[in-house]
Structure 1
């Protein structure tokens, strides 16, 4: 079976799962406070940022710090449990398919889910911005090119984090422990972005890049900026290491 066929099979498996519903609910909840408190964006003009930019960036900061990583933790565990729930993993492992290939096919699905939730966030942003514009008689809607560029930055920065979450779900068989450790790893990211070693902690990547963009938009705020060296080499190393261990460990518990 080809790799693309495996990916297609994995997508079919999640059709009846609650993963997509969880991602949608989390995204809707994210933007409700922004819509209800839209008037507060005008107070931020003293920081040198326009109300429309603040509305957008504050919503995406909230998403990148907790809501998006937390959704991915839960989604990752649910994705791995689609096989374990009915011992389907044993059937898959009995087929002449490389376990590493199967592991990577599932990770590709995880990446697609991450992209989907970020896309949902973009869609909800425009819905929220349209509602805010009508209630405040002010245009909060930004150009799509800018919005999609920021969304793309978050997705790219999230890949090492997703690789780490996938490693947790593969190595920790008990779902509650895997979710607990994953959620606990998110909290320190707000502290790590204020240190010089932020690049060593992949859970802080999405939040760091969007915070750096906030500093660019708010002329009176000084935030740390992304330095590609040593970030990119370290991020690539973390991703490769996490996926390598995941491929080696995938299915080992079920084979015993």
Structure 2
């Protein structure tokens, strides 16, 4: 059985779960709140109304709603194996447990990607509807939104990998959810310290925070620097992914 077939099997396991409806919840909440306050952005205070609305809406999304939804997705994917001793039956097959864990990690990343696609599409559709009904003449910057969705996806990868590693290490869903929530909540505080670079739970939020000053006259901020962020993020992603892959099913194999 090759890796592509493993991916298909893992995807089929969660295909009928409630993950797909779940990834719509956070984007719909964020976009709805942004559109509801749309008029407040088309004022002299903001230099670019649509980007300003997107950034301020994405702030809560990046710090909390997106990580919260990914925590639930991690638990739901892991939960498919704990039901009816599914993990023991799976490990009995002539397939590497490392490959199985990596396949599950890829499925998790796929759902992260899908949530960002949903966020982009919902924002574009809602923006077009709002533009046509409110008489707003400023064009919706679709390419700008796409660039930021890609940025959120990439900066969330280390965080998602850390969440998955914790989900693997702690079998009890309550423990893994509690610990991940405990790490997500202080993300906005960590982002305001020099240690943000080693705290993957704040990466996406920090990316958005650095852009607030670009659209408002009264808010000062710092630019998001690729270096040394990129090497550190890649290293953290690789380390936590290795932990998740090597620890998956280890207790059951004893």
TM-score higher than 0.5 here?
yes
Superposed, which structure 2 residues align to 1:118-157 within 5 Å? Answer: 118-139=116-137, 141-157=139-155
Given that 2:98 and 2:248 are in contact with CA atoms closer than 8 Å, whether structure 1 keeps it comes out as: yes
Taking the aligned partners of 2:106 and 2:80, their CA distance within structure 1 comes to 15
Given that 1:7 and 1:105 are in contact with CA atoms closer than 8 Å, whether structure 2 keeps it comes out as: yes
SS in 2 for 1:35: helix
Q: 1:221: which partner in 2?
A: 219
SS in 2 for 1:62: helix
| Cα 1:204/1:127, change in 2 over 3 Å | same
Q: 1:83, CA displacement in angstroms?
A: 1.1
Taking the aligned partners of 2:160 and 2:48, their CA distance within structure 1 comes to 32
Taking the aligned partners of 2:61 and 2:137, their CA distance within structure 1 comes to 22
| Cα 1:3/1:140, change in 2 over 3 Å | farther
Given that 1:10 and 1:105 are in contact with CA atoms closer than 8 Å, whether structure 2 keeps it comes out as: yes
Q: 2:200: which partner in 1?
A: 202
Superposed, which structure 2 residues align to 1:29-108 within 5 Å? Answer: 29-43=29-43, 45-46=44-45, 48-108=46-106
Q: 1:8: which partner in 2?
A: 8
What runs of 5+ residues in structure 2 fail to find an aligned partner?
A: none
Given that 2:50 and 2:141 are in contact with CA atoms closer than 8 Å, whether structure 1 keeps it comes out as: no
Q: Does 1:236 align with 2:234?
A: yes
Q: 1:31, CA displacement in angstroms?
A: 1.8
Q: 1:38, CA displacement in angstroms?
A: 1.6
Given that 1:55 and 1:140 are in contact with CA atoms closer than 8 Å, whether structure 2 keeps it comes out as: no
Q: 1:140, CA displacement in angstroms?
A: 5.6
Given that 2:165 and 2:243 are in contact with CA atoms closer than 8 Å, whether structure 1 keeps it comes out as: yes
Taking the aligned partners of 2:95 and 2:149, their CA distance within structure 1 comes to 35
Q: 1:97, CA displacement in angstroms?
A: 1.1
Given that 2:124 and 2:142 are in contact with CA atoms closer than 8 Å, whether structure 1 keeps it comes out as: no
Per-residue deviation, residues 163-213 of structure 1 (Å, max 9, x unmatched): 100001100111111111112211111111111121110011011112223
Taking the aligned partners of 2:145 and 2:116, their CA distance within structure 1 comes to 11
What runs of 5+ residues in structure 1 fail to find an aligned partner?
A: none
Given that 1:52 and 1:139 are in contact with CA atoms closer than 8 Å, whether structure 2 keeps it comes out as: no
Taking the aligned partners of 1:100 and 1:177, their CA distance within structure 2 comes to 23
Taking structure 2 as the reference length, the TM-score comes to 0.93
Q: Does 1:246 align with 2:241?
A: no
| Cα 1:94/1:72, change in 2 over 3 Å | same
Given that 2:34 and 2:57 are in contact with CA atoms closer than 8 Å, whether structure 1 keeps it comes out as: yes
Q: 1:130, CA displacement in angstroms?
A: 2.3
Q: 1:10, CA displacement in angstroms?
A: 0.8
